[in-house]
Chains A and B, each alone.
Chain A
Amino acid sequence: MIEVKSISKSFDNIKAVQQISFNVKKGQIFGFLGPNGAGKSTTINMLNTLLEPDQGSIKIDGIDLSEDHEQCKLNIGVVPQEIALYDDLSAFENLKFWGGLYQIPKNELKERAEWAIKIVGLEDRKKDAVKTYSGGMKRRVNIAAAILHKPKILLLDEPTVGVDPQSRNHIFETIEQLNSEGMTIIYTTHYMEEAERLCDEIAIIDLGKIIAIGEIEELRKISGVRDKLIIHTSDKQEIEYECESIGSEISGILENHKSNGNEILSIDTHKANLESIFLKLTGKQLRD
């Protein structure tokens, strides 16, 4: 669905994105994980035609982006990082305006706006001015405005920044629903748990380069990060075990301890997660 080959983008002397390549399959949720300033938004802005790559090529659904901007724009829906809505208009008025820019026939527009507002679960507040919404509700309308033209691909640029847990869950459910209906999703975030929950495949990006790409299991293998099991014994010892899978190996480890006569006071487990994978691959915490 998306083929990106060796794209780069610089702003003056700053290399924001360097030689990035990746493919996104149809119906996939593809995640871009990286700290602020890693190059995620620049990549998203090249995918949505706002920026032109200095070099490299992008194909959306087989169409070269540099050759047919307009068709590519119709295939893509973008949820920007900012809440890009008109505060004084109602959610419904906002949706009708934004939808109107995408060649949706007038008689269908109302229907589409109803559909989009229902997807994000705000039917009962649709006539209220956006300025009366909570941050989380605005984020949901922000998503609704991007799906009105039923794009094949939805790009979401950190859509949960500053959102309360309830709205965050609602956003996740919305994304999962859209994906289940066949929409391909590209999702940028610097929250590990979001990437872990939503993404089929993740590209870890830092300093404008993709460091690793693959499913979480693949990333774990690439990084060499393993699950950890820490046993605290009665003689105040702390024994650490690295294992491929805690679930399958824990019984053997505990048996071994018993036979050595060590009394176990407590056990800590640390599953290999994106946090540890990111730390291993980049040498820094994600929120640095």
Chain B
Amino acid sequence: MYKLFIKDLKLFFIDKKAVMLTFLLPIIIISLFAFAFGGLGGKRTSQPIDLLVSDLDQSASSQKIIAKLDSLEGLGIKIKEIEWAKDQVIKGNYVGVLVFNKGFDESLKNNEPLKYELLYDEAREMEVGMLQPVLIGNLMESVGKESITQNISSYMDDKFPGMSSIIKDQIISDVTAEGGSASFEANTELTMTSLVGEEEESSNLGLVQAVAGTAILMLLFSVSAMAAVILEEKENGTLKRLLYSPITANDILYGKMLIAFFISLLQLTIMFVFAWLAFGLKLFVNPLALALVIIATAFAVSGFGMFLASISKTRQQAAGLSMLIILTMSAIGGSMVPLYIMPAIMKKIAIISVNYWGIQAFYDIFWRELPTIDILPKIGVLIGIGIVMTLISIPLFKKNIIKLV
């Protein structure tokens, strides 16, 4: 029994793929999730959240509150015109826009419900969740102080018209320092409105995430398996026979890519049609964009599959590498855990994965309901990934596969 144990132990460590899959893969996945969910020793420095502000009131009090918000470390305030700001939020470029509507100053003076609101992107739920307490706490304080200041000031002006401004300021300062904002709590309530995806149940974010995230993850697996067929052809001799024939090595690679592309198209289409039939996904919200994103995603993923096959020398190696790279990429790219619940840093890292671009493009169609022109950049990135992967695969394919035939 002991000898068997030693023999199997030796064999296990000789098989580098098995070692990699057993130890390295779980370590990578654990690290990614730990990082994503804040498990790195609790010493993470939080990134400021960029918040757009539109000041339609243009009053002294609104500007004063904006200046106060801008001084906060946790917020990066950008003052923008309302329509532009809303467009950026809809496109997912910013978490939200804090709007000081016309009449804000009046509502403050009259102790009425305040005319300001936060228009936000529900797809960035995590950031909105982090923003909410920071924003509300500081707004309550600033708005409360501002409101007391204005009320006392007008009372003094009314009752003691001759009072010097120094004494008046002293009184206001003393009052506001004693936490006088509490009595204005009811009126500081911030209205929050999601700018995207609230119209119909069938476009809910969870469904879009489930379909797009899973579709791309499964697509990567199936395409890498298909690309690995090239290694099977090498092992059973048919690749050699193909090379005896008048076709070229490039023809073989493109042929394999074509089938991977075609199956990817089919797989993605079937998945979305299924989501439409079974869960009522709004499939026809933008058919042109959907077709383009499916084509671009299929192209990027099949290029990626060819890359995986080209860097491997055997099918086993391809299987191990695919598992490692696909799971890592899916973890950071939002296939496994939605990016909207991940911290901002993970969203920045996510852009290196093909999953990210595909999922975001599907968000743009089904969640943000953007026009095709606004989705084109993501489509461009996906096609770029496909082209780059193919260009890298050609020499690798010739080096690792053809030469070793």
Q: Which residues of A does B touch, CB under 8 Å?
A: 48-50, 70, 73-74, 76, 78, 80-86, 98, 101-103, 145
Most buried by B among A49, A84, A145: A84
CA distance A277 to B34 in the complex (A): 73
- Which B residues, 229 to 245, have Cβ-Cβ distances below 8 Å to chain A? 236-238, 240-245
Judge if B60 is at the interface, Cβ distance under 8 Å.
Answer: no
10 residue pairs, one from A and one from B, having the closest CB atoms = A82-B237, A84-B237, A84-B241, A101-B245, A78-B244, A84-B238, A73-B246, A70-B246, A48-B244, A50-B243
> Are A80 and B245 in contact (CB-based, < 8 A)?
no
> Are A50 and B246 in contact (CB-based, < 8 A)?
no
17 residue pairs A–B, Cβ–Cβ below 8 Å: A48-B244, A50-B240, A50-B405, A73-B245, A73-B246, A74-B246, A76-B244, A80-B237, A80-B240, A80-B241, A82-B237, A84-B240, A98-B245, A101-B242, A101-B246, A101-B247, A102-B246
* B-chain residues with CB within 8 Å of residue A103 when the two chains form the complex: 246
Q: Which residue of B lies closest to A81 (CB)?
A: B237
Q: Mark B167-198, 1 if CB is under 8 A from A, else 0.
A: 00000000000000000000000000000000
Given contacts A49-B244, A78-B244, A84-B241, 15 further A-B contacts (CB under 8 A): A50-B244, A50-B405, A70-B246, A73-B244, A76-B244, A78-B241, A82-B236, A83-B237, A84-B236, A84-B237, A84-B240, A85-B238, A86-B238, A102-B245, A103-B246
* A-chain residues with CB within 8 Å of residue B247 when the two chains form the complex: 101
CA distance A91 to B238 in the complex (A): 14
CA distance A101 to B241 in the complex (A): 11
Q: Which residues of B does A touch, CB under 8 Å?
A: 236-238, 240-247, 405
> Are B246 and A98 in contact (CB-based, < 8 A)?
no
Mostly, the A contact residues are: loop
B350 to chain A, nearest CB (A): 40
* A-chain residues with CB within 8 Å of residue B242 when the two chains form the complex: 101
Number of residue pairs across A and B with beta carbons under 8 Å? 41
A52 to chain B, nearest CB (A): 11
A205 to chain B, nearest CB (A): 21
CA distance A73 to B248 in the complex (A): 11
* A-chain residues with CB within 8 Å of residue B244 when the two chains form the complex: 48-50, 73, 76, 78, 80
Most buried by B among A76, A82, A103: A82
B244 to chain A, nearest CB (A): 4
CA distance A69 to B237 in the complex (A): 21
A46 to chain B, nearest CB (A): 12
* B-chain residues with CB within 8 Å of residue A101 when the two chains form the complex: 242, 245-247
* B-chain residues with CB within 8 Å of residue A102 when the two chains form the complex: 245-246
* A-chain residues with CB within 8 Å of residue B246 when the two chains form the complex: 70, 73-74, 101-103
Q: Which residue of A lies closest to B243 (CB)?
A: A50
CA distance A49 to B243 in the complex (A): 9
* A-chain residues with CB within 8 Å of residue B236 when the two chains form the complex: 82-84
* B-chain residues with CB within 8 Å of residue A145 when the two chains form the complex: 241
* B-chain residues with CB within 8 Å of residue A81 when the two chains form the complex: 237
A77 to chain B, nearest CB (A): 8
CA distance A235 to B245 in the complex (A): 66
CA distance A50 to B236 in the complex (A): 16
B245 to chain A, nearest CB (A): 4
Q: Which residue of A lies closest to B237 (CB)?
A: A82
Q: Which residue of B lies closest to A83 (CB)?
A: B237
* A-chain residues with CB within 8 Å of residue B238 when the two chains form the complex: 84-86
